[in-house]
């Protein structure tokens, strides 16, 4: 996922010993029920988990090439370095003028396509864009709703008019 490439967690903060050891972060998302907009919910769960994750304070002994807890009798932990916060916004696209934010599964399935924007909550900059739309029919002269820049502009206007509250801890 792009939570790391977006700068959400700076990769250099996971380095224990340069060229030797790094922390590896695994996140498993288990969906118990999909009522739509699964990507945004998964991204929200991922960012929440990373914000509350803690790693042990360790040191690397270059002589023995071993990793040691900084305080073995009372292991300390520190939070992951979180640089910013990101949010996902998915829109169902029906045509160039009908854009539905935060669609349920029925609305996703009945739409002509969808677009997901991941935005840095602090700067409001776009850090990821993905879209799904059917291939245009060879018989059709009408372009996909995604081919119109006004669609993305409208999505950004909706995001900026209704920002999610910051949940930075």
pLDDT per residue as tens digits for the range 19-47: 999 999 999 999 999 998 899 999 999 99
Q: Is 119 inside a domain boundary?
A: yes
- The range of the structural domain enclosing residue 156 comes to 86-161
Question: Domain for residue 166, yes or no?
Answer: no
Spell out a b/e string for 55-75, using b for 16 or more CB atoms within 10 Å of the CB, else e. Answer: eeeeeeeeeeeeeeeeeeeee
- Chosen domain end from 30, 57, 79: 79
Q: Give the CB-side neighbour count of residue 50, counting CA atoms within 13 A.
A: 28
Burial of 131 (0-12, 13-18, 19+ CB in 10 A): middle
Same domain? 42 vs 100: no
Question: Is 92 found in the same domain as 38?
Answer: no
Shared domain check, 44 and 93: no
Output the pTM of the full model.
0.81
pLDDT reading at 139 higher than 80: no
């Amino acid at each position: 996922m792009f939570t790391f490439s977006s700068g959400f967690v700076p990769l250099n903060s996971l380095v224990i010993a340069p060229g030797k050891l790094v922390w590896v972060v695994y996140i498993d998302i288990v969906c118990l029920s999909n009522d739509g907009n699964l990507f945004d919910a998964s991204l929200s769960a991922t960012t929440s988990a990373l914000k509350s994750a803690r790693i042990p304070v360790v040191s690397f002994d270059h002589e023995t090439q071993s990793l040691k807890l900084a305080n073995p009798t009372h292991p300390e932990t520190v939070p992951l370095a979180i640089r910013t916060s990101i949010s996902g916004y998915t829109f169902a696209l029906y045509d160039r003028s009908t854009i539905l934010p935060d669609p349920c599964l029925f609305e996703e399935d009945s739409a002509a396509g969808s677009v997901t924007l991941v935005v840095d909550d602090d700067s409001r900059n776009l850090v990821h864009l993905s879209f799904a739309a059917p291939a245009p029919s060879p018989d059709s002269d009408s372009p996909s709703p995604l081919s119109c820049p006004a669609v993305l502009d409208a999505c950004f206007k909706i995001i900026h008019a209704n920002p999610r509250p910051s949940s930075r801890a």
